[in-house]
Amino acid sequence: MLRYLAGDLLDLRGDYDFITWFLPFLHAAPLRDWGLPNRFLMPRRLLDHAWTLLAPEGSLLVINQGEGEAERQANLFHQAGIAARALGRIESPLSPFQRPRYGFMARRSESKQPGQPATP
């Protein structure tokens, strides 16, 4: 069954086969641009929680905006011990993006549990 869920990620529970996460807040400036307080800036906590929501064979697709956010996302995956594959730049056949988008795919079966640092 396919469902679209909007709301606070931290309120979700359960096992999901596939999670898509578009444009997570990774820096304070975009949060301020949206009029949100800094208390909502918790990229590592949200990543760790999203990871716990995946079924044992589940996958997480994350799309970031701009090279800086893509670098930050890659670092977050590394810090969390999550083996994410960089998909590179994502193009839209429907509408060109104002800023380039970059994607990552991570499969639960290929990574450690969250909270464990990646092995150097």
The three-state (H, E, C) secondary structure of the chain, written as one string: CCCCCCCCHHHCCCCEEEEEEECCCCCHHHHHHCCCCHHHCCHHHHHHHHHHCEEEEEEEEEEEEHHHHHHHHHHHHHHHCCCEEEEEEECCCCCCCCCCEEEEEEEHHHCCCCCCCCCC
Q: 6-10, 33-37, 89-93, 112-116: which range is least confident on average?
A: 112-116
At residue 120, the pLDDT reads 34
Please compute the mean of the pLDDT values over residues 36-55 and round it to a whole number.
96
Is there a domain that residue 1 lies in? no
Copy the structure tokens of residue 2.
């396919």
Is there a domain that residue 5 lies in? no
Is there a domain that residue 78 lies in? yes
* Domain hosting residue 74, numbered range: 16-110
- pLDDT of 6 above 60: yes
Is there a domain that residue 118 lies in? no
Is there a domain that residue 6 lies in? no
Is there a domain that residue 115 lies in? no
Is there a domain that residue 21 lies in? yes
Confidence of residue 42 (pLDDT cuts 50, 70, 90): very high
- Total structural domains in the chain? 1
Q: What is the pLDDT of residues 66-109, one digit of tens each?
A: 999 999 999 999 999 999 999 999 998 887 788 899 999 999 99
CATH of the domain at 103: 3.40.50.150
Is there a domain that residue 95 lies in? yes
